[in-house]
Structure 1
């Protein structure tokens, strides 16, 4: 369907394309690399890994560049930029699509739209396919089909010592398990294949609410989380705090032309600042909102809740108000808390074991905190603050009766660095460490950043 020229190139700091290779969504995650290498084939990747492993050279692999932790897809060493892996091949008979790891979900959705099919992918523009395909993948379609990794049928992988293999449940079931959530520990993926699903028109858009209606928004999200059981219905609710003033915004989605009466009525009855909710194509729905412009500095962190009860929602709002106000004097530009009320059984759609999540029950509901700021000298202040805030919400949840929260798995693509692996991978950590030792005995992938087994 589409592809870009597959030619290996090395880009030096003096070349015009160098900045493209090292740039990230967060400028705080862009490091000055020795050089940028753009492989054009799996064979190129194999050669690169062999050289890096032999010389023990630090490196990083970048897809879309949306990682929130410095060093996870950036490096002062060799930056491998995967953008030339841009092919998309739809197989109507098999109902699958093979996707190059250098693409954005924007590209995938646009390519599949003419065929009336879709995949379980990102909810926001400008996100690379690599993170969800290797880290888990939370989607507006997860209530129906599970995580992105639950719909992967195979990966094309360049192993750390250079071997090129296709990995699926039949070829190496343990490695297939590890790639589904295990991030960059087992080599470099060049393409992967996803199941596709029929796609009709959808209903949805973004609503920003009048700040004085905050209590109604709180009630609406708690009601939605506890009472709405339609797997085609989903929202992301963001509490955006600027200098302590909260603007609630909801990204509302129904996977069909019209939602049943009552599904979103509480949100639709609240006074708004803006609203563009309507029946539209999925591609049009996905393109709502501003493009992801580069942000000076930022970090995210996360926890998983058992429920978005009225009490815990109030706690989250209090945290947004407190930190938004306090951090404004330290060059803070925005503090955001995003509630993701998936159905309790959303992650039970697949019965196959995956690296993430380590367990499918009990249910866990992600909450992501995102702090943004401008001054490098304030980095430690914001990193400590976001950790403290997540700790405060965790403690409040336990006090309010959500006793399982400290033991629930958290989503690695949202998590801050330098946390215990068990918080993401739970009881899977020993199995993943043993798999890493088998696949990468020389620890070549240890030369790249990320959560390491």
Structure 2
């Protein structure tokens, strides 16, 4: 028996018109069902962060006002076999991840409310159209925050579906680990409220399993009081890379009590044509900052390297996430990539060496920005990932501590796409090979930041992957989210043709 939401829609689906493409017919039908919410032509385009997504033009863009409207859209898309994408932030560089070329883009921007729904448990309900700036803007005045991403314009639901590294992961895990409930539309149009108690398997899958199971229309997350306000940045000479990476190793193994997050960035600085190394620290108190560091033993060991730049801020979470946005300006072609390695200065340095060798092949590209970020994944963070039955990422706390190394690349010209594609293929391959050679590779790949050709789910481990595929078959037996929502990372298992 069809769910009620689907029965209502199916009763008013227009008959297919000969000569019209399926998505054209679907969009015309939706304009009748949801008047004032469907946009065609130039008004269907979205000014998205990456050119790869911004250049895509859907057959129509639909702005649902609630979960019932989302159910109607999904039912129509299925009836006409029209592909779709869900736009709930749009900061992925993955072409078609949130904008369906020639299909239906389900734009959640009318569903972006942020509401503190339980002042005792500090539960906050967030609509699917909200970005983390919306959450921080609501919570900052209350002296509260949430375990959201470090960039303000990242979509809340998308980051949770993929995992979500945060300023505050050392204390609370990743973004997905603070989710306590989801409102979601299943492939058959049913609207469900998903918690660890009501639908434990689906709850597990939505915390890191990507867009393979349902369309999330809202999520309830845990907030916390008294967020840290100290943020520091230091820029160092690359001659002491080994010292910086040793400190990263030491901090990841035993994070100082006042430090909530450390990120080490190594990049090519285009204006000065130099490689640069920097550290960012988030703390509840001002962390101990060095003005100079000794060169490694045997390498000018009697000399010191003075810090090149030091900045100390006291800022709200919103202000600091907006400052991070500067490193990720819109209007470029972008690629992400990721690798996970053991926490050791040897592999950190080896990856930096490979990065230096490969960057020279693209250094003349217009509008180039290229850097890698070393993100600690501490044992304490991994333990937080075990709450409420654990997330879908498949990382055992016994594997830690680890380092998530993310690649960030952008450039100006469409003519350089092939150059950059080859660069990313070489760099991700070399990172993986070098880590394997040193016995320091971990199979996990951070979904939110992986390169589109990387096999994300193979890194989740056999147990988690088998469970995810079983859940997918149970909640989406026809493979709607595998076949009609092709953008982003899919579970990869063959599904029968939809009837």
Larger Rg: 2
- Which residue matches 2:454? 419
Given the alignment of the two structures, is residue 294 of structure 1 paired with residue 330 of structure 2, yes or no?
A: yes
d(CA) in 1 for partners of 2:251, 2:209: 32
- Which residue matches 2:94? 69
d(CA) in 1 for partners of 2:242, 2:121: 48
Cα–Cα, structure 1 residues 49 and 312, in superposed 2: closer, same or farther, change >3 Å? Answer: same
Of the structure 1 ranges 245-254 and 187-196, higher mean CA displacement relative to structure 2 is found in 245-254
SS of the residue aligned with 2:129? coil
Given the alignment of the two structures, is residue 305 of structure 1 paired with residue 332 of structure 2, yes or no?
A: no
Residue deviations 1:362-390 (CA, integer Å, cap 9, x gap): 12320011222233233233223223212
- Following TM superposition, by how much is the alpha carbon of 1:284 offset from its aligned partner in structure 2, in angstroms? 3.4
d(CA) in 2 for partners of 1:56, 1:171: 31
- 1:41-56 equivalences under 5 Å are 41-56=66-81
Cα–Cα, structure 1 residues 114 and 444, in superposed 2: closer, same or farther, change >3 Å? Answer: same
Higher relative contact order (CA 8 A, sep 6+): 1
Report if aligned partners of 2:339, 2:428 keep a CA contact under 8 Å in 1: yes
Count how many residue pairs are aligned between Structure 1 and Structure 2: 436
Residue deviations 1:141-178 (CA, integer Å, cap 9, x gap): 11111111111110000111211110001111111111
Cα–Cα, structure 1 residues 101 and 45, in superposed 2: closer, same or farther, change >3 Å? Answer: same
- Following TM superposition, by how much is the alpha carbon of 1:295 offset from its aligned partner in structure 2, in angstroms? 3.7
- Following TM superposition, by how much is the alpha carbon of 1:212 offset from its aligned partner in structure 2, in angstroms? 6.1
d(CA) in 1 for partners of 2:306, 2:151: 25
- Which residue matches 2:420? 382
- 1:206-217 equivalences under 5 Å are 206-209=233-236, 214=241, 216-217=243-244
- Which residue matches 2:369? 334
- Which residue matches 1:179? 206
Report if aligned partners of 1:421, 1:429 keep a CA contact under 8 Å in 2: no
- Which residue matches 2:393? 356
Report if aligned partners of 1:300, 1:415 keep a CA contact under 8 Å in 2: yes
- 1:36-185 equivalences under 5 Å are 36-76=61-101, 77-90=103-116, 91-185=118-212
Aligned-residue CA RMSD (Å): 2.6
SS of the residue aligned with 1:189? strand
SS of the residue aligned with 1:94? coil
Of the structure 1 ranges 73-82 and 411-420, higher mean CA displacement relative to structure 2 is found in 411-420
- Following TM superposition, by how much is the alpha carbon of 1:445 offset from its aligned partner in structure 2, in angstroms? 1.4
- 1:371-410 equivalences under 5 Å are 371-402=409-440, 405=441, 407-410=442-445
d(CA) in 2 for partners of 1:317, 1:81: 39
Report if aligned partners of 1:60, 1:78 keep a CA contact under 8 Å in 2: yes
* Residue among 38, 48, 51 paired with 1:24: 48
- Following TM superposition, by how much is the alpha carbon of 1:289 offset from its aligned partner in structure 2, in angstroms? 4.4
SS of the residue aligned with 1:36? strand
Unaligned runs of 5+ in 1: 1-5
d(CA) in 2 for partners of 1:87, 1:129: 12
Report if aligned partners of 1:99, 1:193 keep a CA contact under 8 Å in 2: yes
